[in-house]
């Protein structure tokens, strides 16, 4: 039998909100284990846009997804969290003593007093566009995310989509690519107006090419892309490209969490706004995975939710103990925990 791992809290999801939850819980001496389906911390920030700038993190006018992840890991280092990567939670049940048993697909068993779901949108994968034979080019010429901008330097780049990801990467990769062609099925976009205006300005200056249409066919062999056929309003047009970035959104799935008996609202987990607790006492949900009236899907909101969740978890783990709220700026006790006293 697998020897159970005992801890105070199991956090499902190691994205920015899950990582910051470790910090908040650590201030109250609560030990955390984190489970994530990815092979690294950072969630969508690390997987989909590690080099994409983020502008709404307090005190950071601009920071990339990877840099934010690294800063959060540095911040939680004093609390020695333990990570379980490339894992999916497959089992969950409440034990007779009130604790929870969480199982992974690697046959690990974790016993904890509280479970915090910080799984973003759940397990996710990019949507593949309906282009014949695209699979043969994936991971060599066709990519669904940008992990390193340098991988696209001096390439003839074809970007497809009309949302923020497509426009953001069009603007960010234009300075390094040999050429950039943006294709969208119509001239209206779902992206931020400022990004759209910048794209049209670059198009007018001849620094990129915008075309209305859809990718009909890919040209190349042995996984090496050489061009694509675009079906446009005036017929087919062939464009040269060595890299294709299709941004057709993500397929989000709760996975086995959907079978826990949690109250759901449009595939998101309902919580209260005092503790961010679910309908199952002792199970909490923070970040993009949760829903409550007025919810905003911002990393900033998830940080706030982690702080309030921590107060409730401490009371749960230490019943009868007075929970004293302290500030890190003035508490010598907290500063010792952080190694800065």
Residue 98 phi/psi, 5° resolution?
95, -10
Which pLDDT score, from 0 to 100, does residue 251 have? 65
CATH number given to 5-124+250-338 = 3.50.50.60
pTM of the model: 0.71
Which residues, including other chains, have CB under 8 Å from residue 156's CB and lie 6 or more apart? 177, 178, 179, 181, 240, 241, 242, 243
Where are the CATH 3.50.50.60 domain residues in the chain? 5-124+250-338, 128-246
Our CA angle for 14, 257, 99, nearest 5°, is: 80
Query: In angstroms, rounded to a whole number, what is the distance separating the alpha carbons of residues 88 and 6?
Result: 18
The pLDDT value recorded for residue 112 is 98
Which residues partner with 54 through β-bridges? 63
- Nearest-CA neighbor of 182 among 153, 157, 218? 157
The end-to-end CA distance of the chain, in Å, is 43
Q: Return d(Cα 337, Cα 82) in angstroms, integer.
A: 17
The CATH class of 128-246 is alpha beta
Q: How many CB atoms lie within 10 A of CB 43?
A: 28
In contact, 101 and 11? CB cutoff 8 Å: no
94 phi, psi to nearest 5 deg: -90, 130
pLDDT at residue number 253: 65
pLDDT average per 10 residues of sequence, the chain (341 residues): 90 96 97 92 79 90 94 97 92 95 94 94 73 94 88 97 92 96 95 94 97 96 96 95 90 76 92 97 96 96 98 94 88 91 76
Angstrom distance (rounded) from CA 213 to CA 109: 51
Write down the pLDDT at residue 53. 86
35 touches 104 (CB < 8 A): yes
């Amino acid at each position: 039998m697998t020897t159970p791992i005992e801890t105070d809290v199991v956090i499902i999801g190691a994205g920015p909100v899950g990582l910051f939850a470790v910090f908040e819980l650590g201030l109250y001496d609560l030990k955390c284990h984190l489970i994530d389906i990815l092979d690294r911390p950072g969630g969508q920030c690390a997987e989909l846009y590690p080099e994409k700038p983020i502008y709404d993190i307090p005190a950071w006018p601009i920071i990339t997804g990877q840099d934010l992840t690294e800063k959060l890991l540095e911040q939680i280092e004093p609390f020695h969290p333990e990570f379980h990567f490339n894992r999916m939670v497959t089992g969950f049940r409440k034990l007779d003593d009130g604790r929870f048993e969480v199982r992974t697909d690697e046959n690990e068993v974790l016993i904890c007093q509280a479970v915090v779901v910080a799984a973003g949108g759940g397990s996710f994968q990019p949507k593949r566009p309906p282009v014949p034979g695209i699979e043969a080019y994936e991971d060599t010429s066709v990519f669904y995310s940008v992990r390193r901008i340098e991988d696209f330097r001096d390439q003839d780049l074809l970007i497809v989509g009309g949302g923020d990801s497509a426009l953001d990467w069009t603007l960010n990769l234009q300075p390094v690519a040999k050429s950039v062609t943006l294709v969208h099925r119509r001239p209206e976009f779902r992206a931020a107006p400022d990004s759209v205006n910048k794209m049209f300005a670059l198009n007018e200056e001849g620094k990129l090419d915008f075309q209305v249409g859809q990718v009909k066919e890919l040209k190349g062999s042995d996984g090496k892309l050489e061009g694509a056929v675009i079906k446009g309003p005036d017929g087919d047009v062939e464009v040269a490209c060595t890299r294709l970035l299709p941004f057709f959104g993500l397929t989000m799935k709760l996975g086995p969490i959907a079978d826990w008996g949690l109250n759901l609202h449009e595939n998101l987990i309902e919580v209260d706004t005092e503790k961010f607790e679910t309908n199952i006492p002792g199970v909490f949900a923070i970040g993009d995975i949760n829903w409550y009236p007025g919810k905003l899907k911002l990393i900033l909101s998830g940080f706030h939710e982690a702080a309030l969740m921590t107060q409730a978890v401490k009371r749960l783990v230490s019943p009868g103990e007075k929970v004293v709220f302290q500030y890190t700026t003035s508490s010598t006790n907290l500063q010792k925990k952080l190694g800065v006293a």
